Structure 1
Amino acid sequence: MKKKKLATAAILAATVIASSFGSAYAAVNLEPINAFFNRGVTFVLKGELWQPKDEDGKPLTAIHYEGSNYLPVRALAEALKIPIEFDADTQKIYIGGRPGAQTPLFAMPMEIDDIYVLASRDPAETMVHKKQFQEVLKIDQYGDIVFTTDRKYKRLVLDAAVVSPGEHTVDFSLFNASDKAGNTSQTTLQKLSVLPEDGVKRLIFNVEGLEKIKIHVQSPNLNPYIYARIVDTSFFDNGDPSAKDASGSSGTGSSGVPVK
C-alpha cells in the first residue's frame, strides 16, 4: 500500500488560490508542516454528495493536519455561492466580497433592449428633479434591465425617480435572471416603489448569492406611460456594516429614502 503523500503549507496555499510567492515572502511567512492528503473523506453539501474541484476541474482532496481536515477555501466558497477574491498585493483573501467597495451601475455588465429602456447622456434627459446627472436609464413605458453580478455583491443600491409628466407610482421589481433559475425566474424577490413626489429615491435590493438579476420597471396599474429614470449614482456593493438603512437594519435590507 502506498504511503500517504506529505503536503506542505506551500502546496495548500497554491491549491487554495493560485498565486506566486517570492523567496523573501516564503522565508518570512511560510512554515513547513507535516500533513496528509485524506483520501477517505467524502463531502455532503446540502444533502447531496459533493466533490470539490480546482479551477481546472480536477478533484481536490482534504488535507489532514493535527486532527482536523482542511479544504481549499475557494472550492467551498464557490459551492456555497459566496464571493471570494484574493488580493496578491496585500495577501488578503476576501470571503463574501470587499467591504465598502462600490461598483457604479454603468460599470456593470448590463443588458437593455434599447427600445423600452434607453441609456442617455443627453443633458435634457439627465436633468432629474433639478439635479444634473451624467447618465441615466430612461424608461418611459416599462422595461427590463439585466445585470450579471456573478455573486460578487450583496446589494443593488438603485437611485430612481419619476419625472414630468409622470403621474403614476412606478414599481421596481427584482428577479433572479440566472439560466439555472428555472421556474423561480418568475418569482418577484423584492418590489419597491417610487412616486412622482418622491424626487430621486434610493432603493436597496438584496442580491446576495445571485449570478444574474433582472430589474423590471412598470406601473402597478399598468399605466402606459411612467417616465421613470435610474440615475448614475446607483451602484452595487457588499453593504456597510456600520450603516443603517431607512428601516433601521444594517447590511442588505431593503429601503427607500430620498437622495439629497
Structure 2
Amino acid sequence: MFFKQSKTAKIIFFLVAILVTSVGSAFAAVNLQPIQAFLNRSVTFVVKGERWQPKDASGQPLTAIQYNGSNYLPVRALAEALKVPIDYDSATQTIYIGGKPGVKTPLFAMPIEIDNIYVTQTKDTAETMVNGKQFQQVLKIDQYGDVYFTLDRKYKRLVLDAAVISPGEHDVEFSLYNAASMAGNTAETVLEKHTVSPEDRMKTMIFNVEGLEKIKIHVQSPNLNPYIYARILDTSYFDNGESSATDSPSVK
C-alpha cells in the first residue's frame, strides 16, 4: 500500500514538473529572444567627473555589453550610481526607475536630524494633541528651529502637515534649503517657502525635493516673534508623486 502511494506521489510530482517546465518554456519562447552580443571591456565610465566602476550585488565588476553598436549596462548599477531609486516587481515584470508611484514614506521613518533644544520629537499624548486631533508623534517647535532629512535623491515631494497651536498667534514660515555637503553657496538659498497661520488649524504643504540628497526645513516667524508654537505632524510623508498645478496647499 505504501509503495502505491509513493509511486502515485512521484507520478503527480513528475507531471507538475513537466507542466512548470512547459509554462516556463512557453513564456521564454514568447518573451525572450536570443541575440549575439559582446562584452566590451574597453569601455570606461565617468560619473559626475569621477571614474566609476559598475558592480553587481556581490561587488564584482561589471562590463558593458555591446549590441548593434550600442553599449548596455545593468539598470540597477547605473541607477545606484546616479542615486536614483530602483525597484523590480517580479509579478508584473516591471522595473521602476525613480521610485514606485503612489508609495509613501512616513516622515518619522526617515533619517531625521534635530538639535533637541529648539526642536524636539515627542510622543507625549499631552503634546501630540494638536487643535483637537490626537497624533502619535510630532515635532515640537516653540521658538524656531531646523530639521534635516537625508533623501539620497529618492523622492520628488515632501508633503508636510503642520499647525500652529495655542498660545501661538503669529504666522509661521516653513522654508526648504539644500543641505547637501556639496551645496556650496546654494545652501543659503531658500528653494521654497510656505506659511501656516493659527487660523489654518492644520495645513498641508507640498515641497519639491526632486534631485536633492539632503534637505533642511527651517521654521520661524517671518517677523522673528520669539514664540511660535509650531507642530510638524506624523501624517507628513515623502513620495514620488508628480507635482502639478493641482497640488496646491490645502487646509484640513
What TM-score bracket applies, with the shorter chain setting the length?
0.7 to 0.9
- Please report how far the alpha carbon of residue 25 of structure 1 lies from its aligned counterpart in structure 2 after TM superposition: 9.2
Task: State how far apart, in whole Å, the 1-side matches of 2:75 and 2:110 are.
Answer: 26
Question: Would the aligned equivalents of 2:54 and 2:78 in 1 still touch at CA under 8 Å?
Answer: no
Task: State how far apart, in whole Å, the 1-side matches of 2:226 and 2:244 are.
Answer: 41
Instruction: Report the 3-state secondary structure (helix = DSSP H, G, I; strand = E; otherwise coil) of the residue aligned with 2:250.
Output: strand
The question of 1:131 aligning with 2:133 is answered yes
Query: For the pair shown, which has the larger CA radius of gyration, 1 or 2?
Result: 2
- Please report how far the alpha carbon of residue 183 of structure 1 lies from its aligned counterpart in structure 2 after TM superposition: 3.0
Once the two structures are superposed, what CA deviation does each residue of 1:115-141 show, in whole Å capped at 9, x if it has no partner? 111112222222222222221111000
Task: State how far apart, in whole Å, the 1-side matches of 2:23 and 2:157 are.
Answer: 36
Task: State how far apart, in whole Å, the 2-side matches of 1:214 and 1:49 are.
Answer: 27
- Please report how far the alpha carbon of residue 210 of structure 1 lies from its aligned counterpart in structure 2 after TM superposition: 1.6
- 1:258–1:179 distance in 2 versus 1, CA, 3 Å: same
Show the counterpart of 1:13: none
Show the counterpart of 2:230: 228
Q: Which runs of 5+ in 2 are unaligned?
A: 1-19
Question: Would the aligned equivalents of 1:176 and 1:184 in 2 still touch at CA under 8 Å?
Answer: yes
Task: State how far apart, in whole Å, the 2-side matches of 1:232 and 1:191 are.
Answer: 20
Segments ≥4 residues shifted beyond 6 Å: 22-26
Task: State how far apart, in whole Å, the 1-side matches of 2:120 and 2:53 are.
Answer: 43
Letter in 1 for 2:159: V
Task: Normalising by structure 1, report the TM-score.
Answer: 0.76
Show the counterpart of 2:251: 258
Task: State how far apart, in whole Å, the 1-side matches of 2:105 and 2:95 are.
Answer: 19
Show the counterpart of 1:69: 71
State the number of aligned residues.
228
- Please report how far the alpha carbon of residue 186 of structure 1 lies from its aligned counterpart in structure 2 after TM superposition: 2.2
Instruction: Report the 3-state secondary structure (helix = DSSP H, G, I; strand = E; otherwise coil) of the residue aligned with 1:77.
Output: helix
Show the counterpart of 1:201: 203
Deviates further, 225-234 or 213-222: 213-222
Once the two structures are superposed, what CA deviation does each residue of 1:191-221 show, in whole Å capped at 9, x if it has no partner? 1111111110001111111222111111122
Task: State how far apart, in whole Å, the 2-side matches of 1:76 and 1:213 are.
Answer: 24
Show the counterpart of 1:211: 213
Letter in 2 for 1:155: R
Show the counterpart of 2:143: 141
Deviates further, 162-171 or 113-122: 113-122
Task: State how far apart, in whole Å, the 2-side matches of 1:157 and 1:101 are.
Answer: 13
Question: Would the aligned equivalents of 1:51 and 1:59 in 2 still touch at CA under 8 Å?
Answer: no
Show the counterpart of 1:249: none
Question: Would the aligned equivalents of 1:52 and 1:75 in 2 still touch at CA under 8 Å?
Answer: no
- 1:26–1:186 distance in 2 versus 1, CA, 3 Å: farther
Percent identical residues: 67
Q: Greater helix share, 1 or 2?
A: 2
Task: State how far apart, in whole Å, the 2-side matches of 1:93 and 1:44 are.
Answer: 24
- 1:63–1:141 distance in 2 versus 1, CA, 3 Å: same
